[in-house]
Structure 1
Amino acid sequence: MTASEGAFRPGGVRLGGWAAAVVTVAVAMVMALGAAVPARAATTLRALAEADGRYFGTALTAGDLGISGEMNVATAQFDMVTPGNEMKWDTTEPSNGNYNFGPGDQILNFAQSHNMRVRGHNLVWHSQLPGWVSSLPSSQVRSVMESHITTEATHYKGKVYAWDVVNEPFNEDGSLRADVFYNAMGSGYIADALRTAHAADPNAKLYLNDYNIEGENAKSNGMYNLAQSLLAQGVPLDGIGLESHFIVGQVPSSTLANMQRFAALGLDVAVTELDDRIQLPASGSALAQQATDYSTVVKDCLTVSRCVGVSQWGVDDGHSWIPGTFPGYGAATMYDSNYQPKPAYNATVAALGGSPGGGGGSGSGELHAVGAGKCLDVPNSSTTAGTQPQIWTCAGTSNQIWTHTAANELTVYSGGTTMCLDAYNKQTSAGTKVEIWQCNGGTNQQWQVNANGTVTGVQSGLCLDVTGASTANGAMVELWTCNGGSNQQWTLG
């Protein structure tokens, strides 16, 4: 993983504490901004996690709260919120002794109104730190730090689940960063910060949080040794936050062992800022690997009794900090920019013990067009490559029986030949026709049968759509921008 600090989201909104997911198929209306509306399901990430005594969270900024499609996913799927920027020092105390808790209160109020807890993030961090703090005489740093922690933690006393008290204190070699706090107080600033936070909010869980400490390495060794020392001193430390900003395919193999060793100290562990960035454009194989990565992280957490939960950093690819910080990379979350669940979502649901595909269906059967009450049909059981499927009265014939394979193909046995549903000429624009073609493993032949009732092309991210919302026999099927219409609702089986 590459280290990058002071991360920015598109539009210049800073996000990130790193050096910087539905069973119902009744989506009725198009939300504001043209966003598709994932249905609230009986089995969601939050429900599955809660059934196991854990949480599944996300990060939100105040700007996110006005984006209806994003919030529809957030409130349906997540039960923990981490404020992206609103509780950091540059927002809460922009000048010495002048506090601004309005933005943080906005996130807190949103969370409480949707039965979501809040993870306080953060109290002490070398980044997003007002210049006046860095310019303080060393003799004043301790009192200013203690005053800031006490004032903020007291303001939110009893309202947050946990605090990232000190965020990203380590260098990659396991030594402590020489920031304003370390330079003025030495390594003791961390114990002092934890004691101060505990005095202000005794019931909050207190964490140290960092990136690149997910596996066993020099940096996580530094964190482990520090945790041991703090506990030996009686310092109130409750947990370690593993940020988990990964590159696809690079989840450390020692993550489970690392979680276990921290838990063996009597500490909780949490995956606090999970995302898994992919070099763009995201290929089908990369999305499949991302699904494996998410599954691995969740399974590791579930294996460790003291791993209390997982939080994804952000809701969807369209509002992720990754593209603005790592040019050429993106697609780092479980939801695409149209708020549609990706393979990583289905893999996460499966890891949590749910049923991937949810109400959208999986396996084999008729692919029902919900709005028309008809079935996806290969005209006249044609075996000619390029034949465009239609909707037709359901008859249970082989040219209407589709199988969603492990390779995410939608296959049909038509005229004695197995064919694949295919996006014409690998096109990715709205209006692209779909056809049957010999199966070839291309990303334009890979489809997600989603829990919200849509069927989306892996390559295009577009939704399978009955042209013109027709309900007539013979109406053609194409790809179109996902919009929540009933002509984009399907059930398999």
Structure 2
Amino acid sequence: MIPGRIPARRGLARGLAMTAAAVLAIPVAAALTVQPATAATSLRGLAEAQNRYFGTALTDGDLNNSAETNIAGPQFDMVTPGNEMKWDTTEPSNGSYNFGPGDQILSWAQAHNDRVRGHNLVWHSQLPGWVNSLPQNQVQGAMEAHITTEATHYKGKLYAWDVVNEPFNEDGSLRQDVFDKAMGTNYIADAIRTAHAADPNAKLYLNDYNIEGENAKSDGMYNLAKSLLSQGVPLNGIGLESHFIVGQVPSTMQANMQRFAALGLDVAVTELDDRIQLPASSANLQQQAADYANIVKDCLAVSRCVGISQWGVDDGNSWIPGTFPGYGAATMYDQNFQPKPAYNSTVSALGGGSTPPPPSGGALHAVGAGKCVDVPNSTTTSGTQVQIYSCDGQANQAFTHNSAGELAVTDAGVTDCLDANGKGTTNGTKVIIYPCNGQPNQQWTINSNGTITGVQSGLCLDVTGASTANGALVELWTCNGGSNQQWTLS
């Protein structure tokens, strides 16, 4: 496990790995603007205007990362604890409880005027060994005691509970876990009734993955939900985890939501991410943006779809790379905490507008060196690597960051753009001038922390070797916060 990250769930990883093996060629959606836009309002504000919520998952480690919380606070209005309310944390040994980590998440959420989805009370994974070691005639008592104690501790403080998490196999049959073996299918009804008795005002959910579209697994969940309701079990909602592979959001997602809603249940997208095979191409980022927009539209089309939560804040702290080697880039924010095309498409799908930043221009100052980005000898020869040089106000040091995200320089009537040589995405890639062509390797994000990142590579504009000398060359390098990666455009 990587410290501070939401860990892989073992059962989930196995189930979704089967989906990963079936990646299909999907037509790429129409191109969207790659550069981040300034949203008319936040995701939470736009969702609330639609009588929905937009949430995220946080761990106690995330609360110590100001870059994450600076996004989570303004953008999201529902928090799901990544691990802090699971059984192995809250009751690591029989009858010994630890609510400190969960309380920390709750306190942060309350301070930011957020609600909390409790996650979770009963799950076959992240279960302490002592539960699996119990004699079968003691399992029901232990389960009921755990649910009662935890739900009572948080009584009146949570929006909802995922009471039973991931109870199904892919074929729609119930998992043969310690609870099913001890109690049969009745354990689910018993768990929900026990949670309701302890916290009668919390919404009570069943939550699972690969049930987003109509298939054997979602049929199993549908039939179970229908049966529970016929027995008077106080089930309130179905959580669709929505851990997708880019381009594979099921076309039946809206219809599937609607059939659960027709039973009188709420539905929610509870753990959304959309993983991409790395390195992420511009086409895949555009497809991801289309996926996010379609998920939002599906939710808005179903009156009982109450909200969407992304699993984590950003790509750099996502659980995906550690669980699905070769995959990542699964969220709306990149590893530098900058919004991606999926953020813009989500804003648009929620009914918000976005306004591209106006063109800005001037000298591109290297903060660490106190010099300016310079086209050597005012050349217009394509492929020339740019350098830093004493600022002189000449045309070969005047750059414009335009609405296409390009950094353009015009000299002797010729306009060129800063370009990642050969569309490179590795450390040391030269930054050159080249005729402007609108490609992602010529698109740059000027970040609030002073760095400039290449849209295609995610790497930072960097002065080679942190040099401060005239003629030091400019390249791409992994972002590290050094002064040789700090820039101002003015």
Q: Which TM-score band applies after superposition, normalised by the shorter structure?
A: 0.7 to 0.9
Shift of 1:158: 0.9
Shift of 1:173: 0.6
Farther-moved stretch of structure 1 (95-104 vs 445-454): 445-454
Alignment-mate amino acid for residue 14 of structure 1: P
Alignment-mate amino acid for residue 90 of structure 2: T
Equivalence for 2:256: 258
Residues in 2 aligned to 1:187 and 1:260: alpha-carbon distance in whole angstroms: 25
Residues in 1 aligned to 2:342 and 2:428: alpha-carbon distance in whole angstroms: 27
Shift of 1:15: 5.0
Equivalence for 1:444: 441
Residues in 1 aligned to 2:224 and 2:105: alpha-carbon distance in whole angstroms: 32
Farther-moved stretch of structure 1 (59-68 vs 190-199): 59-68
Say whether the 8 Å CA contact 1:367–1:376 is kept in structure 2. no
Alignment-mate amino acid for residue 299 of structure 1: K
Query: How many pairs were matched up?
Result: 456
Residues in 1 aligned to 2:413 and 2:365: alpha-carbon distance in whole angstroms: 29
Shift of 1:110: 1.5
Residues in 2 aligned to 1:77 and 1:51: alpha-carbon distance in whole angstroms: 14
The alignment's TM-score, normalised by the length of structure 2, stands at: 0.80
Alignment-mate amino acid for residue 457 of structure 1: G
Equivalence for 2:33: none
Shift of 1:424: 3.3
Alignment-mate amino acid for residue 193 of structure 1: A
The alpha-carbon distance between structure 1 residues 446 and 468, as it changes in their structure 2 partners (threshold 3 A), is same
- SS of the residue aligned with 2:268? strand
- SS of the residue aligned with 1:436? strand
The alpha-carbon distance between structure 1 residues 370 and 104, as it changes in their structure 2 partners (threshold 3 A), is farther
Equivalence for 1:154: 152
Deviations 1:208-253 (A, max 9, x none): 0000001110000111111111112221111110001111111111
The alpha-carbon distance between structure 1 residues 346 and 89, as it changes in their structure 2 partners (threshold 3 A), is same
Deviations 1:245-297 (A, max 9, x none): 11111111111111111112221111111111111122222222111111111
Say whether the 8 Å CA contact 2:363–2:399 is kept in structure 1. no
Residues in 1 aligned to 2:425 and 2:412: alpha-carbon distance in whole angstroms: 29
Shift of 1:137: 2.0
Equivalence for 2:208: 210
Say whether the 8 Å CA contact 1:142–1:184 is kept in structure 2. yes
The alpha-carbon distance between structure 1 residues 409 and 285, as it changes in their structure 2 partners (threshold 3 A), is farther
The alpha-carbon distance between structure 1 residues 12 and 263, as it changes in their structure 2 partners (threshold 3 A), is closer
Superposed CA RMSD: 3.9
Equivalence for 1:319: 317
**For residues 285-364 of structure 1, what are the structure 2 equivalents within 5 Å?**
285-356=283-354, 361-362=356-357
Could you list the runs of 5+ residues in structure 2 that have no partner in the other structure? 14-35, 367-371
Residues in 2 aligned to 1:222 and 1:314: alpha-carbon distance in whole angstroms: 28
The alpha-carbon distance between structure 1 residues 378 and 325, as it changes in their structure 2 partners (threshold 3 A), is same
Say whether the 8 Å CA contact 1:368–1:376 is kept in structure 2. no
Equivalence for 1:14: 7
**For residues 405-484 of structure 1, what are the structure 2 equivalents within 5 Å?**
405=404, 419-428=416-425, 434-439=431-436, 442-448=439-445, 456-463=453-460, 481=479, 483=481
Match of 1:65 among 63, 66, 83: 63
Shift of 1:300: 1.4
Residues in 2 aligned to 1:468 and 1:325: alpha-carbon distance in whole angstroms: 34
Say whether the 8 Å CA contact 1:168–1:211 is kept in structure 2. yes
Farther-moved stretch of structure 1 (303-312 vs 408-417): 408-417
The alpha-carbon distance between structure 1 residues 138 and 354, as it changes in their structure 2 partners (threshold 3 A), is same
Equivalence for 2:97: 99
**For residues 37-436 of structure 1, what are the structure 2 equivalents within 5 Å?**
43-356=41-354, 361-362=356-357, 365-367=359-361, 384-386=381-383, 388=386, 403-405=402-404, 419-428=416-425, 434-436=431-433
Say whether the 8 Å CA contact 2:8–2:323 is kept in structure 1. no
The alpha-carbon distance between structure 1 residues 417 and 234, as it changes in their structure 2 partners (threshold 3 A), is farther
Alignment-mate amino acid for residue 331 of structure 1: A
The alignment's TM-score, normalised by the length of structure 1, stands at: 0.80
- SS of the residue aligned with 1:146? helix
Alignment-mate amino acid for residue 261 of structure 2: A
Say whether the 8 Å CA contact 1:424–1:434 is kept in structure 2. yes
The alpha-carbon distance between structure 1 residues 487 and 108, as it changes in their structure 2 partners (threshold 3 A), is same
Say whether the 8 Å CA contact 1:382–1:415 is kept in structure 2. no
Say whether the 8 Å CA contact 2:245–2:276 is kept in structure 1. yes
Shift of 1:13: 6.5
Farther-moved stretch of structure 1 (311-320 vs 38-47): 38-47
Could you list the runs of 5+ residues in structure 1 that have no partner in the other structure? 1-7, 21-37
Residues in 2 aligned to 1:479 and 1:130: alpha-carbon distance in whole angstroms: 46
Deviations 1:349-377 (A, max 9, x none): 22222234x5xx35x744467989xx999
Say whether the 8 Å CA contact 2:6–2:318 is kept in structure 1. no
Say whether the 8 Å CA contact 1:122–1:163 is kept in structure 2. yes
Say whether the 8 Å CA contact 1:389–1:436 is kept in structure 2. no
The alpha-carbon distance between structure 1 residues 409 and 221, as it changes in their structure 2 partners (threshold 3 A), is farther
Residues in 2 aligned to 1:245 and 1:69: alpha-carbon distance in whole angstroms: 24
Shift of 1:488: 4.4
Say whether the 8 Å CA contact 2:6–2:312 is kept in structure 1. no
Say whether the 8 Å CA contact 2:277–2:326 is kept in structure 1. yes
Say whether the 8 Å CA contact 2:5–2:61 is kept in structure 1. no
